[in-house]
Structure 1
Amino acid sequence: MVPVNAPLSHVQQEAAYLARLGARVRAWRAERGTTRKVLAAASGVSERYLAQLEAGEGNISVLLLRKVARAMEVPVEALVREHDAAPRRSRIALLGLRGAGKSTLGAKLARALDVPFIELDREVENDAGASLGEVFSMYGQEAFRRFERRALERVLKQHERAVIAAGGSLVTDPGTYQLLLDRSYCVWLKASPEEHMARVIAQGDMRPFKGRSAALDEIRQLLADRERLYARADVTLDTSGRSAKQGLAALRALLAKEEA
């Protein structure tokens, strides 16, 4: 029997390195919103080979890797370094609909961990010089998605450690969501529709339900529509029936358990 703490064999070390290399290529590609097909055309490396590389199965040559790096406009040394500068767990991203507790628990968790707390929606507002409602009304949803993507890219580059509160609809943008999944440890803060509704009302802001009589039904539908997307998070925490203090304790316990 091989001891649990036995050092990795040479073959295992090489496999682990190729897996890290593939993950970096995949993360950089996702950050740029580039499909594998587009990257293949830009780099001259076949799409099939890129798929193997990203899966950690391709022992790529230096020259081919250089082509891939140039096509993504990333230094090749950023791909081949031995260790990641910022492990995914160094950033905690909170997902969920409004009223799930992202802002409240996120701020408290960041203070407890002594890291910055960043709300992507506020970053979008700062970049646009307008409220979210104004961004949507003046520029439309596609422009909002571009603001959101740029804000996330900047946050990831500037903060190796942080707690990030993602906008409730970020998960519906495949490229931006994949970037968040690749570069941070994602927690879905889940709550019952009634709890979401009560918290939104308590906040005094009915956006995006203003003027709609069936707001609770709409929340139920949003949760149903996005459940599959939110479930892609690394872990899930149900905040229903929990105070902010209880929610924070449960969140920290969950993170500690997953880290063990």
Structure 2
Amino acid sequence: MNLEETRKQIDELDQVLVETFEKRLAAVLNIAKIKEAENIKIYDPERETKVLEKGLAYVNDPSLRDYVKHFLNDVMAVSRSYQKDHIQQHIFLVGMPGAGKTTVGKALAQRQDMDFYDVDALIQEKTGKSIQNVIIYEGEEAFRELEYEVISDIVTNKKPSVVATGGGTVLSEKTVKLMRDSGFVVFIHRDVTRILDDLDMEIRPLLKESIEYIFRLYEERYPLYEKVCHVKIQNASSIGDAVNEIIDALPNVER
């Protein structure tokens, strides 16, 4: 077989791959509609593990196993993304304390006819302690685990909702993965000087050490917020403008 004949064979195989993948996406869309109707979570790692195991069982040449594994993981990632674009999903708001996550989140939930949850408030309700006391007496690692548990409960047991997270939620890789796999992550960005202005109005006088801490926190976390989010929006003018910007950025869910 010469070069041109081999290329023709690859073209024919690519056609089969594309046609088959289109059929897979059609099936994925049907699943998305069922999940939405029955309030089933989008991301199901156990199901994906089974799909991967079944796919690898079809491999005839052991030397190709790793390549097939990589291929199947990419197929599932694209399928999951396609499914998320066709189903109403959780909206997770991340950003600095004082950025307006709760205020914007409540307004967004009302506009979208969705429930609203504040992760910090749920943790306080669950533990009977303030966030500060949880961190002081149980440690930050335990607090991050509580954040993960609360968000996991929302993902597993609640219908698609707007969720305001804590300022440091993005520090946990497994929580970030959970949010990105099961919803749409929005970075609510607000200039740090405006955050400080609001704090200064609440806490007079704002200590120099506090100002330096907030600036340092902003510099450390800003790259993380940008990295984990699907979209960044500015909370610079009105709450209505911020809500409109988020709605415009949401996947165009078919109804």
* TM value normalised by structure 2: 0.67
Shift of 1:184: 0.8
**SS of aligned partner of 2:185:** strand
Pair 218,154 (structure 1): closer, same or farther in 2 beyond 3 Å = same
Shift of 1:123: 1.3
Shift of 1:205: 6.9
2:234 match: 238
CA contact (8 A) 2:199 2:206 kept: no
CA distance in 1, matches of 2:225, 2:19: 38
**Which runs of no fewer than 5 residues in structure 1 stay unpaired?**
1-7, 41-45, 59-79
1:223 alignment partner, one of 218, 225, 229: 218
Give, as a single letter, the amino acid of the residue that structure 1 aligns with 2:233: L
Q: Deviations over 1:52-84 (max 9, x none)?
A: 4322279xxxxxxxxxxxxxxxxxxxxx9xx96
State the identity %.
21
Pair 246,144 (structure 1): closer, same or farther in 2 beyond 3 Å = same
Structure number with bigger Rg: 2
Q: Deviations over 1:208-241 (max 9, x none)?
A: xx9852333322322222222211311111112x
Give, as a single letter, the amino acid of the residue that structure 2 aligns with 1:178: K
Shift of 1:166: 1.0
**SS of aligned partner of 1:130:** coil
CA contact (8 A) 1:89 1:185 kept: no
CA distance in 1, matches of 2:84, 2:155: 12
CA contact (8 A) 1:18 1:57 kept: no
CA distance in 1, matches of 2:113, 2:199: 28
1:196 match: 195
CA contact (8 A) 1:88 1:184 kept: no
Pair 250,136 (structure 1): closer, same or farther in 2 beyond 3 Å = same
Q: Deviations over 1:120-155 (max 9, x none)?
A: 111111121211011011111111011111101101
CA distance in 2, matches of 1:174, 1:181: 11
Q: Name the structure, 1 or 2, with higher relative contact order (CA <8 Å, separation 6+).
A: 2
CA distance in 2, matches of 1:195, 1:211: 14
CA contact (8 A) 2:93 2:105 kept: yes
Shift of 1:117: 0.3
2:21 alignment partner, one of 12, 26, 30: 12
**SS of aligned partner of 1:56:** helix
CA distance in 2, matches of 1:155, 1:86: 20
Greater helix content: 2
Q: Deviations over 1:16-36 (max 9, x none)?
A: 479999xxxx9444x9xxxx9
Shift of 1:259: 2.9
**Which runs of no fewer than 5 residues in structure 2 stay unpaired?**
1-16, 32-41, 54-61
CA contact (8 A) 1:92 1:187 kept: yes
